[in-house]
């Protein structure tokens, strides 16, 4: 199954420019990173997509944490860099998941309906506690507007595949204001669909500065601590 690539995401976000500008969100600059935004968007896109292993079925589960939206805005110039953080802060009360599922047959794919996707899809935080699904009428205006644009754009760009993509919005913060899932902190996020687990081991390396082995000079994702070739402790790779 082909993945939704970062190139396609960049094209989608060009069309989001008008909607997000209407939100009139203000912000602060992105934190220092050794990644270029487009390069990092590619890496995050790969790391946040999971595909199913059930025979004869096509299943994609894509977690879109606030950090993903931030990188997409930076990589596409949807907002000026100094106006991105607060825009993303408006989305930190939610964890967005895109789910597509279907049975492959000789004539194509019989896609699972949104109602059946929702009935069989759940998410648990790194503490093993379920995340609550946020109904459409309780989602923030920023999330509703963004997804309202993204759904038809996916359908136009990806055809039948995009038409059958469903978005599910789960809670992002606990009652104490802390994030239920922080992709930069250790833990395991688990989404379950139709008896199959989709796991993200955290932190996501693509959200951290890359590391380098001072001995063999190989580069590794930011969630590596030791070189897998010679066991040397890794150091953060600085900008050239």
* pTM score over 0.85: no
Interval 20-63: pLDDT, tens: 343 333 233 333 345 677 788 888 999 999 999 999 999 999 99
pLDDT digits (tens, 9 = 90+) for 164-198: 999 999 999 999 999 999 999 999 999 999 999 99
Question: Cα–Cα distances in Å, from 68 out to 85, 118, 159, 213, 229?
Answer: 12, 22, 23, 27, 30
CB-based contact 179:173 (threshold 8 Å):
yes
Question: How much is the pLDDT for 86?
Answer: 82
Residues 51 and 1: beta-carbon distance below 8 Å: yes
Closest CA to 134 of 181, 101, 171, 178: 171
* 142 touches 25 (CB < 8 A): yes
pLDDT exceeds cutoff 70 at 211 = yes
The full set of domain ranges for the chain reads 6-204, 209-240
Model pLDDT, residue 155 = 85
The residues with which 104 forms a beta bridge, in sequence order, are 109
Kindly report, residue by residue over 75-106, the tens digit of the pLDDT: 877 778 788 888 888 888 999 999 999 999 88
Return the pLDDT at 24: 31
Let me know the angle formed at the C-alpha of 203 by 202 and 209, rounded to the nearest 5 degrees: 155
Q: Per-residue pLDDT for 5 more than 90? A: no
Judge residue 81's burial from the number of C-beta atoms within 10 Å of its C-beta, 0-12 exposed, 13-18 middle, 19 or more buried: middle
């Amino acid at each position: 199954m082909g993945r939704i690539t970062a190139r396609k995401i960049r094209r989608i976000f060009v069309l989001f420019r008008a909607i997000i500008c209407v939100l009139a969100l203000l912000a602060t600059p992105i934190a220092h990173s050794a990644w270029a935004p487009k390069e990092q968007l590619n890496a995050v896109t790969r790391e946040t997509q999971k595909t199913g292993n059930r025979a004869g079925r096509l299943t994609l589960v894509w977690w879109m944490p606030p950090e993903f939206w931030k990188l997409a805005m930076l990589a596409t110039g949807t907002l000026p860099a100094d106006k991105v953080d607060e825009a993303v802060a408006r989305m930190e009360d939610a964890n967005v998941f895109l789910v597509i599922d279907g049975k492959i047959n000789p004539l194509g794919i019989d896609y699972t309906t949104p109602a059946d996707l929702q009935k069989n899809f759940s998410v648990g935080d790194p503490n093993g506690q379920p995340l609550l699904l946020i109904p459409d009428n309780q989602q923030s205006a920023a999330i509703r507007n963004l997804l309202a644009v993204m759904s038809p754009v996916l359908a136009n760009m990806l055809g039948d595949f995009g038409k059958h993509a469903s978005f599910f919005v789960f809670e992002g913060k606990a009652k104490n204001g802390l994030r239920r899932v922080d992709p930069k902190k250790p833990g395991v996020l688990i989404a379950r669909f139709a008896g199959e687990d989709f796991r993200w081991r955290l932190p996501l390396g693509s959200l951290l500065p890359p590391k380098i082995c001072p001995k063999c000079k190989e580069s590794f994702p930011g969630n590596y601590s030791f070189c897998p070739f010679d066991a040397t402790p890794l150091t953060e790779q600085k900008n050239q």
